[in-house]
Structure 1
Amino acid sequence: MTTPDTNPGPSTSTSSRRVRANGDGTVYQRKDGRWEAAGYVLAPGGTRKRVRVYGPTRKDALAKLTEKIAASNRGIPAVFAQDSLAAYLTYWLENVAVHHLRETTHTRYTACVQQYIIPGLGKKKLAKLTAKDIRTWLNELRTVCQCCAHGIDAGRNPNAQPSRRPRCCAIGKCCGKRLSPLTLAYIHSVLKSALEHAVREEEISRNVARNVRTGTPRPRRFNPLTTDEARRFLAAARGHRLAALFELALRTGLRKGELLGLRWEDLDLDGGTASIRRTLQRTASRGLATLPTKTISSERRIALPASCVASLRGHRERQAREEDQAGPGWQGSSHVFARPDGHPIEPATLTRHFNLLLRDAHLRPIRFHDLRHSTATLLLEQGVELVVIKELLGHAHIGVTATVYAHVRLRLQRQAIDLLGHALGDRAEGDDGDDPPPCAAPVR
């Protein structure tokens, strides 16, 4: 007779279970085969709510729950699908986007969310937001005057200067100010980015903003300088305190922030090169701050024209004289382009100098950024290859360069076609065929 074991070992099902500490949550397998983990985390408003996450394996579900609990222990509230879109967007800006965006981009995203998305869709539940809601909201933004919608002019002083006095909704005469297609596309892209993160965190099953088409807006028009205007601009800049900056901007296409962020250690005047490593911009939190370049491709090394090397040497001598005159008041920052006391130059101050220079040269008003477009346009018209211009401007992809300057390439194509037609015997009316073929810029 067999004596039963009075101390049976634990069964297979019991041994497979793992004891979890209090507060670590629970994890179990569902009937559909997936694993579900649940636990309490911090929610907006200081309360605690039970969160559920899922995964194909026990390890995956447990890892997701552990990540949320760890974030909760650091004071980061979790957002739930039943929360409002406003609560989710606030969470996304403060805890997600802030770590992945440049500070200036994050500032624009915040303004876009607070000014347009939350007032229009903020009360909607994140889980119940539909493509129809987004389409209706975008149509309203497209047709409603923004002055009337936000009361922009209502708070202005009636006794102020004429340009600052109340108008539009404040006086009952709508100005009809509408958002441009580019602005609408930007607002839509911000919402789409936020909802995409909600999908990755499995708060919602799909990004409904992707089902809404806003159309492809026309690219913003720019006004590059012609060859004659560029010569007049350089002639007017001679003798200006920032002549070296204006010449460098037109001849190399550097951005405003890249020019203002240049330091003397970035320049190799003997070798005729400049290393673009940083940009100077005014931010909301740090004021005038040095930031990384716009993209990884923007961090580059460029060749300096001989005329720029000469003007930079002269600028360095001028800066040394200013430092001697300032004495103890000199605030040395090693910036190539600085104020007479050594402080960095504000981007807005540079814009004012640029506008005054255009007026003195009797040139049409353009943006400072149009100097960059002028560089690329003039180089294309001289037959410089597109890939060389892409490297000089620091574009991330050559498709960006090709798209922005498509109109210039089309003009060069027409010149090439006309040149080919003349070679094949095409003659315009009144052409006796004795004249030499017209000259055209080489196209590569």
Structure 2
Amino acid sequence: MTVPKRKKTRANGEGTIYQRKDGRWEAAGYVLAPGNTRRRVRVYGTTRKEALAKLTEKIANSNRGLPVPSTQGSVAAYLTYWLETVAVHHLRENTHTRYTTCVNRYLIPGLGKKKLAKLTAKDVRTWLNQLRTTCQCCTRGIDARRDQPRCCAADQCCHKLLSPLTLTYIHSVLKSALEHAVREEEIPRNVARNVRTGTPRPRRFEPLTADEARQFLTAAQGHRLHALFELALHTGLRKGELLGLRWEDLNLDAGTAAIRRTLQRTSAGGLTTLPTKTRASERRIALPTRCLQLLKLHHEQQKPEREAVGTRWQHDGHVFTTAQGRPIDPTNLTRAFITLLRKADLRRIRFHDLRHTTATLLLEQDVELVVIKELLGHAHIGVTATVYAHVRLRLQREAMTALGNALSHS
């Protein structure tokens, strides 16, 4: 009697899956590993579907030629894999570029040779402490690349140390990479989470005072981008949000603007229109009467510019453009802004400080924090409260002084 062959439930190469005694599901299969070898990986899930999905993802990446890092491999190998196959699909291009710079400049030189599976919290803490006290000019050979060395390469160390904010950023990139390794069950825990770097002070900024803001807007009168600078100070829009505005986003009759996108220059795509920074950044804001009037005037002023260049006009709906109708490069807007600061005889600040100026002036006018949060497009009101804590503290002191005067017996 011929025994019928058992029907396969999974095709060759798709691995195996079964339920463990502890109730969890385990799936296993062979995938591509560094060095063009193959190794068997195991993944786990609370349901059969979850375990199967994890294994399917690993096998799909393997079939595309993407090697799965081994826990016996180095931290450098895993960070490279994470950047090229994971982070690249979840981060904005400019953010991915910053992550890549951070990994190549700090993480790989500092921790890259260690085995991923043997990396400890002590390793991370020791390395961060060393990084905190190491002159970057000496370490990275910055001065040695100058035509005429003037500090480290000339035995006169400049003690160029990383700021607390930069150290926190480096630490956060490492935590993100290791968190993904935990999710893929390459390592049991994220050791970087057990290391505390301290809470750095918020970056200091110097917003314009009300008098300085009026002085700046006076200098901007007659400039072809006068409407943009007025809009920046009245609404606190980010530079990319201002440059990404299209006429279809504006309802001049209702007096509103829909903030849907941002314009940025990326290394790969050049000037590129991207979604807003966060989901909360996509918002609708009210426009003051002065901005509405200037936007209508700006629209009228585009007509002679379009007629002057004729068929060379390349307008694609942006509100603020070059004289040829093209989107404005953020760097060129910064140059125009600095020129106006000089014209107004004002100290040099960043364009982003116009946004801080808006929020600061609104706080000083007793506008509620939640209203400012919605106008600026912050994801959480805690962000608004943290960034402008110094303003609120000053207002508290003024309020206490006023109360003290009211209660004074003299």
TM range (shorter): over 0.9
TM-score (norm 1): 0.87
* 1:96 aligned counterpart, secondary structure: helix
| 2:363 corresponding residue in structure 1 | 380
Q: Which amino acid aligns with 1:426?
A: S
* Distance in 1 between residues matched to 2:171 and 2:138, nearest whole Å: 21
Classify the secondary structure of the residue corresponding to 1:82. coil
Distance in structure 2 (CA, Å) of the matches to 1:262 and 1:63: 41
Matched residue, 2:194: 211
Answering whether residue 407 of structure 2 is matched by residue 418 of structure 1, we say: no
* Residue 74 (structure 2) pairs with residue 84 (structure 1): yes
Q: Which residue of 1 aligns with 2:257?
A: 274
- State the alpha-carbon separation in 2 of the partners of residues 422 and 99 from structure 1: 59
Equivalent residue, structure 1, for 2:37: 47
Mapping for residues 127-206 of structure 1, pairs under 5 Å: 127-156=117-146, 158=147, 165-206=148-189
Are 1:348 and 2:313 matched, yes or no?
no
SS in 2 for 1:141: helix
Q: Give the fraction of aligned pairs with identical amino acids, expressed as a percent.
A: 75
The CA deviation at 1:35 is: 5.2
For 1:391 and 1:29, the matched residues in 2 are separated by 49
Say which is worse superposed, 329-338 or 125-134, in terms of deviation: 329-338
8 A contact 2:207–2:360 mirrored in 1 = yes
- Please list, as runs of the form range in 1=range in 2, the aligned pairs for 1:223-302 lying within 5 A after superposition: 223-302=206-285
Question: 2:391 matched to 1:401?
Answer: no
CA displacement, residues 315-352 of structure 1 (integer Å, 9 cap, x when unaligned)? 11222111111112212122111111111111111111
**2:56 aligned residue (60, 66, 91):** 66
Q: Is residue 2:298 matched to residue 1:308?
A: no
Task: State the Cα distance separating 1:46 from its structure 2 match.
Answer: 2.8
Deviation track 1:36-94 (CA, whole Å, cap 9, x = no partner) reads 44321012343222222344666654443333222212333212211111111111111
Q: In 2, Cα distance between the equivalents of 1:56 and 1:120?
A: 37
CA distance in 2: counterparts of 1:289 and 1:228, whole angstroms: 36
Q: CA separation of 1:126/1:328 partners in 2, compared to 1, >3 Å: closer, same or farther?
A: same
Contact 2:43/2:184 (8 A) holds in 1: no
Q: Secondary structure at the match of 2:375?
A: helix
Paired residue for 2:91? Answer: 101
Distance between the aligned counterparts of 1:301 and 1:168, measured in 2?
51
Instruction: Kindly state the Cα deviation for residue 198 of structure 1 after the two structures are TM-superposed.
Output: 0.6
Deviation at 1:19, TM superposition (A): 5.4
Following the alignment from structure 2 to structure 1, what is the Cα–Cα distance between the partners of residues 355 and 52? 52
Moved more, 30-39 or 91-100: 30-39
3-state DSSP of counterpart to 2:158: coil
The residue number in structure 2 matching 1:120 is: 110
Distance 2:50 2:330 in 1: 49
Higher alpha-carbon deviation: 346-355 or 54-63: 54-63
Cα gap change, 1:92 to 1:247, in 2 (>3 Å)? same
Q: How many Å separate the matches in 1 of 2:9 and 2:365?
A: 74
Stretch of structure 1 that moved more, 300-309 or 181-190: 300-309
> Equivalent residue for 1:441?
none
Alpha-carbon offset, residue 215 of structure 1: 0.5
Aligned-partner SS, 1:260? helix
Assess, with a 3 A threshold, how the Cα gap between structure 1 residues 19 and 85 changes in structure 2: closer, same or farther. Answer: same
Alignment partner of 1:291: what SS?
Answer: strand
The residue type paired with residue 399 of structure 1 is G
Letter in 2 for 1:292: P
Aligned residues: 410
Determine the C-alpha separation between the residues in 2 that align with 1:46 and 1:357: 58
Distance of 1:296 and 1:63 partners within structure 2: 28
Distance 2:127 2:152 in 1: 21
Q: Distance in 2 between matches of 1:273 and 1:288?
A: 26
2:13 pairs, out of 20, 23, 46, with 23
2 CA distance for matches of 1:288 and 1:397?
A: 29
Q: Are the counterparts in 1 of residues 24 and 45 from structure 2 also a CA contact under 8 Å?
A: yes
Give unmatched runs, 5+ long, in structure 2: none
Q: Distance in 2 between matches of 1:172 and 1:85?
A: 33
**Unmatched runs of 5 consecutive residues or more in structure 1:** 1-5, 159-164, 432-444
Give the counterpart letter for 1:187 in structure 2.
I
Aligned-partner Cα distance in 1 for 2:259–2:21: 58
Report SS of the residue matched to 1:53: strand
| Cα distance in 2 between the residues matched to 1:61 and 1:277 | 38
- Aligned partners of 1:50 and 1:63: how far apart in 2? 16
CA–CA distance in structure 1, aligned partners of residues 285 and 24 of structure 2 = 55
Match of 1:75 in 2: 65
Letter in 2 for 1:297: A
| 1:225 Cα offset (Å) | 0.7
